[in-house]
Amino acid sequence: MLGRPQKILISLDLNGQRYELAVEPRSTLLEAIRYAAGLTGSKQGCDKGDCGACTVLSNGAPILSCISLAVEHQGDRITTIEGLAHGGKVHPVQDAFDLCGALQCGFCQSGMMISAAALLERNPKPTREQIKEALSGNLCRCTGYTKILEAVEVASGQRQLAELDPRPTTGSPA
Amino acid sequence: MSFGKKLNVVGRRLRKVDGLQKATGAAVYADDIKLPRMLHCKILRSPHAHARIKRIDFSRCLEHPGVVAVLEGKEIPTRYGVIPWTPDEQALAADKARFVGDEVAAVAAEDELAAEEALELIDVEYEVLPPLIDPAEALREQRIKIHEGSKQGNISKHVELSFGDVAAGFDRSAAIADETFYYEGSTHTPIEPHCAIGNYDADGNLTVWSSTQIPHYVHRELSRVLELPEARVRVIQPFLGGAFGGKSDPFSLEFVVAKLSMKTGRPVKCLFTREEVFWAHRGRHPMKMRFKVGLSETGRIESVDSKILIDGGAYSSFGLVTAYYAGQLLTGPYQFGAYHFDSTRVFTNKPPCGPKRGHGSVQPRFAFEVALDMAAEKLGLDPIEVRRRNFIGENVKTINGQLITSNGFLRCLDLVEKASGWKERKGKLGFGRGLGVAGSMYISGTAYPVYPNEMPQAGIQVKLDRSGKVTIFSGASDIGQGSNSVPAYLIAEEIGCDPRDCLVVVSDTDLTPVDLGAYSSRVTFMLGIACVEAGRKLWAQISAAVAEKWGVEAARIEGSLGTIFVPETALSMSFKEAVRLAEAKFGTLGATGSYRTEKLGGDYRGGTIGASPAYSFTAHAVEVQVDPETGIWTVERVWAAHDCGKALNPTLVEGQIEGSVYMGYAEAAMEEMTYLPSGLHRGPSLLDYRIPTSLDTPELTAMIVESGDPKGPYGAKEAGEGPLHPVIPAISNAIHDAVGIWLTELPFHPGKLLRLLREKGKPRAPVPPVEERISAAGESRA
Amino acid sequence: MLTLPPFEYHSPTTVEEAVALLRQHRGQVKVIAGGTDLVPNMKHRLFTPAHVVGLKAIAGLDRVAEEGPDIRLGAMCTIAQLARDPLVQKTLPSLAAAASQIAGPQLREMGTLGGNICLDTRCVYYNQTYFWRKALGFCLKKDGTVCHVVQGGQRCVAAASNDTVPVLMTLNARVRAVGTNGLREIPIAELYVPDGIVNTVLAPEELVVEVRVPRPEGRLIAGYQKLRVRASIDYPALTIAVAAKIDPADRAEWIRVVVSALGARPHLVGGLERFRGRRFDQGLAAEVSQVAYRQCHPLTNINVDPAWRREMVPVFVRRAFARAQLSGSGYFEKEGAQRTSDSPPPPNTPTQQTR
């Protein structure tokens, strides 16, 4: 294309697997993950770091891949939603999100679960305030966050699913 | 329907059929789709709010090495609109641009950057026209017409309806509230931006993948505008990342990717930037409303009169319906003595408004529920009490001819009254803290399809065979609410299989039956009835075959979660075996179900608009705290009780209640679509246009009421839009309770509240110390 | 998707190499630290450098240490790192408070101290896409000649929006930068100028490498308050830092108040010398807050009601002092007090409940 620098070969560690990708230097990490490596679980929501749908982990820390340069993350251990499950078993966060009804449209949830998983890694028994704080960079439009918070409490073993099932449906206050 | 039978699936908190797909990142959304040789399309948009398009010159653009094809409006000039009576849009504007962001031309290129660069090389000659931004000005203006063929200036739709004698009602009223309200425009901001891929293959078949909630209407419009037979057009809706009504129009990008694919012979994808989602809009109409509510001495609603100016933006979208809904959806849960409304939707040179969750009714409901409290206060009546006194009842017709079947509103009021400690705490929380309440009613689908026809509005097909696998074909759009799962639950309940053995094939116009789309909260109700019908046909066959084998009456046979049995006997077999018997007896198995509403609504022009086979009811109580030094108000908690008839899966229903409350709260707190005088949107991004984060969202308690509707599938009614309505007026009412200020304009900016507080003067009562306030609240909650 | 414009990427391993690259490509080069400011701005085509110089490969710029009378903060320390660092929490709690409220969790993991110090000024007419700005007719700061905030304005008033800076100003920090003439140290109060187009005195090829903050001695009260619409993600509508040195008789030796998210330069409230020697109490804080009120004039460069923001200045100056007072001997924790590295300092944002 007009005036475009040549593509460069970068090497990304995605979910413990090495990917050799030819990308332009201007490629964001999200573009590299989604379009070059074909891992479409991480999402484009807002283009510029306002919504969190693109959240991945870089060496365990949650970052916004849509405003990160792919070329700068060589040598980092990147974890995407596809890498949360291990040995055929989903991560407790993924299971809890499903069981608790935290997944409505699901679009924000890759980023949300990544942030939640990172939180539990650092702080295995977070308070509700701490959960809200850790997820406050992930916008959700469907759930109002209520079931997301419950799901993280369940995943951290601080709330029993049985409390939620059967939940009172005739109106005693929570 | 089937109220006596023990339920095995319905009513249980089961996983969704697609939950783990979403949880593992495996669910494929439109932008996840990549086709061989796919091109990327970008759309050129008007920088002017109002301008004639004189000439478009692509010559510089075509020299860009990455550009493969270009497109302009003249090539696909056929007008369309989601409502067939108001087709006023073109895929690409050919004559005029009517708002900043209006689509004017398109480019297909090898990659997105090339397409973006190429847009800069398109030269458009505009004749700039004066923009009409303020709806009152647009209404007055007679010379400048946004739609030049219009015979009514810039009026999009005017509706005036009258029921009973409002003047006489006001004469009888002991207390009247007469107030002007303003509801600001807001937009849906689904986290997924619009995305479409068009692929025109060698056989002359067009496939369009689109993040749409109305694949059927898109199918029809694509066929019409592109002049292709419907049988050669296929619309597939992949997993969709949120809609809320923002994806229920046919959009430019769908036509453009299709046409560019036809021109290039290659697949073409267009993904909107977040900014472009703001241009697409179709969100909440700003409404300026004057409401007059008169109450008798005993608090009965004598008369309600409203005059509403609706800012429609540049195109009609669902506007014809909006103008009706602004009045037609208010006539429950309370009985009105007399009712008159006059609503006018006006075109302006801004992105077009359309249906956003609670289309056309959230705004008047806000105004009415606050006006009701205002009038009740004059009589010294408690807000919950006045609502109870006006309860319209069950199995009644509203004043405008709508038939209410089940009605759990009183139970909703009871629940929020108890949960909020209303009786013990209202009026006793001290200055700065308050409780508020509001109610609402909403439709479970409309009584008419968007284009008139006698065919079903929802349908289902089920295939099952000797493997025990059940495949359900559903045309319904899952926008996150769970309509992929509901057919599995209902069919499994009817035929006794395990829902995990069901595959639900969805929203593909080649494969699935017609469903009108996910709008007006129709899917659970209508699709559900179709599912029950199909399920019963299959059960009739299965139970007949099993009955023959066991030598018992078919009526004694039951099925539950993969086992077919006769209760209290040893007779039992697997679902799979039962199907084999049925397949052997009846041949290849399959059944359909369909639903069409009966004739409903008042016997007058527009009487069907607002008519629905069943209505949901909601009540919210809200506790707020106001900081009088800053005007900042915070919601302590929202108690939301919603009558959904029957919760087919309580987790999904709660999710809808919680999401709805969140969205209503967001509109009260921070969402606003505002424009510069030129018509340019002030902040089309998720940074400038704010939606609440997890730290901003109040704690909420969702409570389900099940009134068991006689018409709904297992008694179910809607839950997706109704629960949004009351939180906004409840917040306003609570703020009034807290500090004596009525907030009548959205959003409730702290600056506004602070100014009003300062104007008002000293507080009514001294502020108790913090510790006292907290313990008082705590005790009453024990 | 918003694309990035094309560029060559460089990854120097020393500060000298980085400075040399900045000099070599002068006029066509930008530095990227965390990218949280530069990348969105490039997507908006506010910057289209042909060369981008990344700093991640330069070792040694991300340390927090005590040295002599100073706390040394490396420019490549992330914001999250500063918020969690035990030394920062103990000795510079108002900085930890400010850091913990910058943006949102992911942005804090990415953004750096140096990046925050050099944060581009912001304005609703500037931080928009190329299409939007072209539809507007551009602006004084970028591609145009008209200021849409101040009618007829000839000087850009885009808002300084960096939250660490007001705190660092109250604590007399010094910024160390390396350029073609070597290292220089700039007192932070002298770093900023009231020009929204370039609001620092740094030369184009100068790289901020470190911030040094004198370790507070004696009774130093330091407080921070941030006003924003949402409790996360948002840039500040007001960002206020206060500090006061109190003598053993509870009298003020000096008082500093910095209010930012106004114009292009964070505003150090002037005229507070008159309070020297006065007994430091809530009443004095209220008088100080009125002085701040008279000097602060929020503008329409930020999309939060400027008249309301002005009314909030004295409220939040008072609250910054009040909350600093409440902890006993200033904002300091008692010696040896535990704080988990994950819990943020007590939230001071007004959208939180006060119990």
According to CATH, the topology of domain A92-164 is DNA polymerase; domain 1 (1.10.150)
Q: Per the structure block, which two tokens stand in for B578? A: 């039962």
Lowest mean pLDDT among B590-604, B761-775, C188-202: B761-775
| Interface chains of chain B (3 or more CB pairs under 8 Å) | A, C
Q: Pick from B12, B418, B694 the residue to mutate for testing the A interface (most A CBs within 10 Å).
A: B694
Mean pLDDT of chain A: 92
Residue-wise pLDDT for B641-665, tens only, equals 999 999 999 999 999 999 999 999 9
- The pLDDT value recorded for residue B303 is 98
Q: Average pLDDT of B181-187?
A: 98
Which residues make beta-bridge pairs with B306? Answer: B291, B341
Q: Which pLDDT score is estimated for A166?
A: 44
SS3 letters for B614-629? Answer: CEEEEEEEEEEEECCC
Nearest CA in chain A to C234: A50
Is the CB of residue B682 less than 8 Å away from at least one CB of chain C? yes
pLDDT tens, position by position, B710-723: 999 999 999 999 99
Nearest-by-Cβ selection for B652 from A101, A148, A170: A101
Is the Cβ of A26 closer than 8 Å to some Cβ of chain C?
yes
Nearest CB partner across the interface for B749, out of C235, C305, C351: C305
Adjacent-strand bridge partners of C256: C243
Residue C224, helix vs strand vs coil: strand
Q: Residue A168 has what pLDDT? A: 39
Is 90 exceeded by the pLDDT of residue B772? Answer: no
Tell whether the model's pLDDT for residue B683 goes beyond 70: yes
Q: What residues 617-636 of chain B have any CB closer than 8 A to a CB of chain C?
A: 625, 627, 629-632, 634, 636
Q: How far is A89 from chain C (nearest CA, A)?
A: 27
B153 conformational bin, left if phi > 0, alpha if psi -120 to 50, beta if neither: left
Q: What is the pLDDT of residue A163?
A: 61
pLDDT number for residue B447: 85
A70 and A32 in contact (C-beta within 8 Å)? yes
Task: Work out the number of other CB atoms within 10 angstroms of the CB of residue B652.
Answer: 26
pLDDT tens by residue, chain C, 355 residues? 999 999 999 999 999 999 999 999 999 999 999 999 999 999 999 999 999 999 999 999 999 999 999 999 999 999 999 999 999 999 999 999 999 999 999 999 999 999 999 999 999 999 999 999 999 999 999 999 999 999 999 999 999 999 999 999 999 999 999 999 999 999 999 999 999 999 999 999 999 999 999 999 888 999 999 999 999 999 999 999 999 999 989 899 999 999 999 999 999 999 999 999 999 988 999 999 999 999 999 999 999 999 999 999 999 999 999 888 544 344 433 333 333 333 333 333 333 333 3
Domain with CATH 1.10.150.120 in chain A: 92-164
User: How high is the pLDDT of residue A87?
Assistant: 87
Sheet-wide strand order for B572-574: B558-560, B563-565, B572-574
Q: Tell which residue, B737, B18, B705, has the closest CA to residue B412.
A: B705
Give the span between the Cα atoms of B554 and B536, in whole angstroms.
13
Average pLDDT over residues B234-253: 98
Q: Is B779 exposed, middle or buried (0-12, 13-18, 19+ CB in 10 A)?
A: exposed
For C250: left if phi > 0, alpha if psi spans -120 to 50, otherwise beta; the answer is left
Residue B713 CA to residue B700 CA, distance in Å, equals: 28
Q: Is the peptide bond before B747 cis (omega within 30 degrees of 0)?
A: yes
Q: State the pLDDT at residue C217.
A: 86
In this prediction, residues B734-756 reach a mean pLDDT of 97
Residues of chain A with CATH 3.10.20.30: 8-83
Q: Is A40 on the interface with C (CB under 8 A)?
A: no
Angle, helix B727-739 to helix B362-378, in steps of 10 degrees:
30
Which residue carries 């306002």 as its tokens? A50
Nearest to B695 among A35, A133, A170 (CB): A133
Closest CA–CA distance from residue C245 to any residue of chain B (Å): 28
SS (H, E, C) chain A: CCCCCCCEEEEEEECCEEEEEEECCCCEHHHHHHHHCCCCCCCCCCCCCCCCCCEEEECCEEEEHHHCEHHHHCCCEEECHHHCCECCECCHHHHHHHHHCCCCCCCCHHHHHHHHHHHHHHCCCCCHHHHHHHCCCCCCCCCCCHHHHHHHHHHCCCCCHHHHCCCCCCCCCC
Question: What is the reported pLDDT for A165?
Answer: 53
Stretch 45-84 of chain A: residues touching chain C, C-beta under 8 Å: 47-50, 52, 55, 58, 61-64, 67-69, 71-72
The strand ranges marked E within B184-286 are 195-200, 206-210, 233-236, 268-271
Percent of chain B with pLDDT over 90: 96
CB distance B436 to B427 below 8 Å = no
Q: Do β-strands A8-14 and A55-58 pair in parallel, antiparallel, or remain unpaired?
A: unpaired
Residues of chain A with pLDDT > 90, as a percent, come to 86
Show residues of chain A in contact with C1, CB under 8 Å: 31, 44, 47
Pair B689, B673: CB distance under 8 Å: yes
Q: What is the pLDDT of residue B762?
A: 57
In the three-class reduction of DSSP (H, G, I as helix; E, B as strand; rest coil), residue B96 is classed as strand
Query: In the prediction, which pLDDT does C325 show?
Result: 57
Residue B27 CA to residue B529 CA, distance in Å, equals: 28
CA–CA distances in Å: residue B443 to residues B643, B655, B756 = 12, 18, 36
Residue C281 CB: number of other CB atoms within 10 A?
12
Q: What is the pLDDT of residue B773?
A: 39
The domain made up of A8-83 has a fold known as: Ubiquitin-like (UB roll) (3.10.20)
Instruction: Give the three-class secondary structure for B565.
Output: strand
| Averaged pLDDT for residues B249-267 | 98
Is-contact B317 B249, C-beta < 8 A?
A: yes
Chain B positions in Cβ-Cβ contact with residue C229 (cut-off 8 Å)? 670, 690
Q: Which pLDDT score is estimated for C33?
A: 98
SS (H, E, C) B727-774: HHHHHHHHHHHHHCCCCCECCCCHHHHHHHHHHHCCCCCCCCCHHHHH
pLDDT band at B765 (very low <50, low <70, confident <90, very high): low
Judged by CB atoms closer than 8 Å, whether chains meet at C109 and A130 is answered as no
Determine whether the interchain pair B695/A100 forms a contact, defined as Cβ–Cβ distance below 8 Å.
no
CB-based contact C350 B630, cutoff 8 Å? yes
Contact A26 C110 (CB under 8 A): no
**Interface residues of chain C, partner chain A, Cβ below 8 Å:** 1-9, 11, 32, 35-36, 39-40, 43-44, 52, 54, 56, 80, 103-107, 109-110, 231-233, 340, 342-344
Sequence-distant (≥ 6) Cβ neighbours of residue B418 within 8 angstroms: A171, A173
Chain B residues close to A126, C-beta within 8 Å: none
User: In one letter, which amino acid is B81?
Assistant: G
d(CA B514, CA B595): 11
Say if B225 is an interface residue toward chain A (CB within 8 Å): no
Question: Distance from B318 to chain C by nearest Cα, in Å?
Answer: 27
List CB contacts (< 8 A) between A42 and chain B: 25
User: Which of C32, C40, C344 has its CB closest to that of A48?
Assistant: C40
| Interface test with chain B among A141, A143, A147, A164, by most B beta carbons within 10 Å | A141
Cross-chain Cβ contact C230/B625 below 8 Å: no
Average pLDDT for residues B428-449, to the nearest whole number? 95
Which residues of chain B from 28 to 57 reach within 8 Å of chain A, CB to CB?
A: 28-29, 31-32, 34
Chains contacting chain C through 3 or more C-beta pairs under 8 A: A, B
User: Distance between CA atoms of B80 and B19, rounded to whole angstroms?
Assistant: 36
B65 touches chain A (CB under 8 A): yes
Mutation for testing the C interface, residue in B192, B627, B629 having most C CBs under 10 Å:
B629
- Residue B448's H or E segment, with its range, is none
Report the C-alpha gap between C217 and C250 in whole angstroms.
15
| Residue from the list A5, A25, A130 with its beta carbon closest to the beta carbon of C342 | A130
How many Cβ contacts (< 8 angstroms) between chains B and C?
Answer: 86
The predicted structure's pLDDT at residue B671:
98
Kindly identify which residue of chain C lies nearest to residue B628, measuring between CA atoms. Answer: C315
Q: What is the pLDDT of residue B763?
A: 53
Decide: helix, strand or coil at residue C79.
Answer: helix
First to last CA, chain A: 59
Flag if B693 and C350 touch (Cβ within 8 Å): no
Residue A142 is encoded by which pair of tokens? Answer: 């469907």
Give pLDDT < 50 ranges for chain A.
1, 166-174
- Packing angle between helix A92-100 and helix A109-122, nearest 10 degrees? 130
- What's the confidence (pLDDT) of residue C317? 97
Dump the DSSP string for C118-178: TPPPB-TTTSS-HHHHHHHT-BTTTB-S--SSSTT--S--PBP--SHHHHHHHTT-EEEEE
Query: Measuring CA to CA, which residue among A95, A10, B160 is closest to residue C9?
Result: A10
Question: Per-residue confidence at B766, pLDDT binned at 50, 70, 90?
Answer: low
Which pLDDT score is estimated for B114?
A: 96
- Residue-averaged pLDDT of chain B: 95
Asked whether the predicted pLDDT for residue B407 surpasses 70, the reply is yes
**pTM (2 d.p.):** 0.95
B609-640 pLDDT per residue, tens = 999 999 999 999 999 999 999 999 999 999 99
The Cα–Cα gap between B144 and B155 comes to 12
